[in-house]
Amino acid sequence: MIAALKSLPPLTPNLTSLNSLLSSQLSEINECILEKMQSPVTLIPQIAGYLVSLGGKRLRPLLTVAAAELCGYKGKRHIQLAACVEFIHTATLLHDDVVDESILRRGQDTANALWSNKASVLVGDFLFSRAFELMVLDGSLDILQILSQASSSIAEGEVLQLSSSHNLNLNEETYLKIIGSKTACLFSAATEVGALVAGADESKRKALSRFGYSLGLAFQLMDDILDYAADQEKLGKTIGDDFREGKVTLPIILAYQQGIDCEFWEEAFHNGVRDNNALTHAIHLLKESGALLKTKHTAQVFIEEALECLTVFSECPLKIALEDLAHFSLYREA
Amino acid sequence: MIAALKSLPPLTPNLTSLNSLLSSQLSEINECILEKMQSPVTLIPQIAGYLVSLGGKRLRPLLTVAAAELCGYKGKRHIQLAACVEFIHTATLLHDDVVDESILRRGQDTANALWSNKASVLVGDFLFSRAFELMVLDGSLDILQILSQASSSIAEGEVLQLSSSHNLNLNEETYLKIIGSKTACLFSAATEVGALVAGADESKRKALSRFGYSLGLAFQLMDDILDYAADQEKLGKTIGDDFREGKVTLPIILAYQQGIDCEFWEEAFHNGVRDNNALTHAIHLLKESGALLKTKHTAQVFIEEALECLTVFSECPLKIALEDLAHFSLYREA
């Protein structure tokens, strides 16, 4: 499988092709987001607007639009549904930053740092509810089902991760379940909603749902790697956040399983010694043990699976752009 | 209007009649709540179960069931919808306790005090999403619309209250808007959903929606009064919570508007002098100025409006129980 991946022609590993193919739709998504987050309670558009202005890749809403148009959709419903997907994502970011006590996101202060945890919790709740209001206006119970399931799955994944923090005996299978719930489910829902709004047949719907899920897993694993191996400036946040928060991610699981310097990992995760010196040593161990490389290998396998899902679609610029995106996720720096 | 209220026969001001009329339905609601909050992630039913076990009045779900049966509903859908209403309410309680940094609820430790703010935020998110999943399974877009609007209204009301904290120039109109959003909307949605599931006509649906809204306003105003005037043991939480949090409620607005001891209120709300001595003086001023009595008078007016809404229904035990409940809200001690 990895061989097949390597045999693919070299690609510019970035979002450019999807962004340029869907540039007018991206503007429409951004307009829709700005319009629909309005509220007479001024603090709401203020905080939501700040988060939206930080940019971000708009990856999930772009996936909804791309999936819909790949299935031949010509209407406009996918724009608002894409905005719903982004609202759910933004709500989880606001709550995540409270849960993780983060102070930086994309190189800027987080909303909780600028306003307060209180405001972040409540504005997250608002965006979440607003997403459901918009879905109800759209009127598809199938779409509501997919996104309400994805939302409770995200919360389950986050709680499972919280329950598993500092647990060095977490295994790869459970870890993949956690990131499947907290990250991949929303990717999968984003693409499946696109297929649904286009009225795609069962095989295309399943293919897109699986594409999103595998892509989401790979995306999260690359996030886990970047937290230890990124160029801090390009990442836009401090590296080592997962380490400081005691989050046991796949690189840690793989390094600990090798049995090298177990005392160090136990000191760090059980006794809380996770200062900068410990981070430096952790990065050294993760690189030397090959744990980061193995994690990337796992991500590559999921990208292979994602690419495989796209084979049911005939060649077209959007399909190429989605393939490009899948590759990009293995080479991204932020 | 108040005269009309006074001319009503004396009633036992408690939930008893509604509870005994709907005792089997209440058991079904509790079973449904326990069943539907299950998750393979054990911390979720643990925390949600703790909150549910604290008891509470189950007022909102009882309103849904009562409204449905008052409109002649004979089916079973209202039980699960009532559980959805309670899930939304429980989610807001979990997030409120984080926002308010509360440590006691119904005389017991809050979930955030026992577990953590993190867990409370995430389990709240889960219950909220689960409510929407269950509503989607129920399949009515009208009901989804009402409860998704109510949810975003709650968040708007909470943010507006947060933005208005320490603001002594808040007026009664804005304050009623805040509690309309944060409290009355869910009461109104609870009763309207009951009417909808029963297929009631427009006039009954509107009457029940308005009944819920007015009852909710009165209920919140009585809550505001109890925070200064309750017997702490019966209340199940410390009195003066609103004061310590700097929440400007109607009693404070009315007392400040009288212009008596304004320096004290400014010292308390602008300069943060809100210790126990200040609380004692605040209670003294609120009682002496008649602000608590005036607040109760406003609550009475809303109860009159609520009772007026019920006149479209013919006499029956459920109608009497709802009237009893309306009166109860003016005499409750917790």
Whole-number Å distance between alpha carbons of B153 and B186: 9
| Integer Cα distance of A143 and A125 in angstroms | 20
Task: Give the type of residue at B227.
Answer: D
A148–B132 C-beta distance less than 8 A = yes
What's the distance, CA A213 to chain centroid?
10
Per-residue pLDDT tens for B184-193?
Answer: 999 999 999 9
The residue among A236, A228, A223, A154 whose CA lies nearest residue A189 is: A154
**CA–CA separation, A42 and A125 (whole Å):** 15
End-to-end CA distance of chain A: 26
Inform me whether the pLDDT recorded for B110 exceeds 90.
Answer: no
Task: Round the average pLDDT of chain B to a whole number and report it.
Answer: 90
pLDDT, one tens digit per residue, over A35-85 is 999 999 999 999 888 887 776 789 999 999 999 999 999 999 999 999 999
**Tell me, what amino acid is at A274?**
R
User: Above 80 in pLDDT, residue A6?
Assistant: no
The pairing of strands B104-105 and B108-109 is antiparallel
What CATH number does the domain located at A2-331 have? 1.10.600.10
Is the Cβ pair B122, A99 closer than 8 Å? Answer: yes
SS in 3 state form for chain A? CHHHHHHCCCCCCCCHHHHHHCHHHHHHHHHHHHHHCCCCCCHHHHHHHHHHHCCCCCHHHHHHHHHHHHCCCCCCHHHHHHHHHHHHHHHHHHHHHHHCCCCEECCEECHHHHCCHHHHHHHHHHHHHHHHHHHHHHCCHHHHHHHHHHHHHHHHHHHHHHHCCCCCCCCHHHHHHHHHHHHHHHHHHHHHHHHHHCCCCHHHHHHHHHHHHHHHHHHHHHHHHHHHHCCHHHHCCCCCHHHHCCCCCHHHHHHHHCCCCHHHHHHHHCCCCCCHHHHHHHHHHHHHCCHHHHHHHHHHHHHHHHHHHHHHCCCCHHHHHHHHHHHHHHHCCC
Do B154 and A129 lie within an 8 Å CB cutoff? yes
> How many angstroms away from the CA of B86 is the closest CA of chain A?
16
Q: What mean pLDDT comes out for the span B231-250?
A: 83
Query: In this predicted structure, what is the pLDDT of residue B104?
Result: 66
Percentage with pLDDT > 90 across chain A: 73
Identify whether the C-beta of residue B61 lies closer than 8 Å to the C-beta of residue B85.
yes
Better pLDDT: A39 or A108: A39
Q: What residues of A are in the B interface, CB distance below 8 Å?
A: 39-44, 92, 95, 98-99, 117-119, 121-123, 125-126, 128-130, 132-133, 135-137, 139, 141, 144-145, 148-149, 151-152, 154-156, 158-160, 162-163
Pair A114, A106: CB distance under 8 Å: no
Confidence check: pLDDT of B289 > 80:
yes
CB spacing of B151 vs A160 below 8 angstroms:
no
Q: Higher-confidence residue: A145 or B51?
A: A145
Q: Comparing A27-41, A256-270, B95-109, which segment has the lowest mean pLDDT?
A: B95-109
Cα of B74 to nearest chain A Cα, Å:
25
Average pLDDT over residues A240-265: 94
A159: chain B residues, CB-CB within 8 Å: 41, 43-44, 119, 122-123, 126
Residue of B nearest to A144 (CA): B136
Helix (H) or strand (E) holding B151: helix B141-163
Average pLDDT, rounded, for chain A: 90
Q: Which residues share a beta bridge with B108?
A: B105
pLDDT at A7: 42
The mean pLDDT value for B110-131 works out to 87
Per-residue pLDDT for A88 more than 50? Answer: yes
Token digits of residue A3: 């061989």
Q: How far apart are CA A5 and CA A59, in angstroms?
A: 22
CA–CA dist A270, A267 (Å, integer): 6
Beta-carbon separation of B155 and A129 below 8 A: yes
What confidence score (pLDDT) does residue B209 get? 98
Give yes or no for a contact between B332 and B215, defined as CB atoms under 8 angstroms apart.
Answer: no
The pLDDT of residue A1 is above 60: no
Question: What is the pLDDT averaged over residues B309-318?
Answer: 97
Q: What is the mean pLDDT of residues A228-232?
A: 82
Has residue A107 got a pLDDT over 60? yes
What's residue B251's pLDDT?
97
Task: Locate the chain A residue with the closest alpha carbon to B42.
Answer: A160
Confidence tier at B55 by pLDDT (50, 70, 90): low
List CB contacts of A218: < 8 A, sequence separation 6 or more: A299, A300, A302, A303, A306, A326, A329, A330
Of B95, B123, B135, the CB nearest to A159: B123
| Cross-chain Cβ contact A156/B126 below 8 Å | yes
Q: Is B140 left (phi over 0), alpha (psi -120 to 50) or beta?
A: beta
Q: Which two tokens stand for residue A62?
A: 């772009």
**pLDDT-based confidence at residue B296 (cuts at 50, 70, 90):** very high
Question: Average pLDDT in the A187-195 region?
Answer: 98
Distance CA B5, CA A128 (A): 41
Tokens for B15, please give them: 């939930």
Yes or no: say if B14 and B328 are a contact pair by the CB < 8 Å rule.
Answer: yes
The complex's ipTM works out to 0.90
pLDDT at position A71, please? Answer: 98
Average pLDDT over residues B31-39: 93
Domains of chain A, residue spans: 2-331
Q: Looking at beta carbons, which residues of chain B come within 8 Å of A39?
A: 156
pLDDT band at A198 (very low <50, low <70, confident <90, very high): very high
CA distance B241 to A64: 45
pLDDT digits (tens, 9 = 90+) for B217-230: 999 999 999 999 87
Q: How far is CA A310 from the centre of its chain?
A: 20
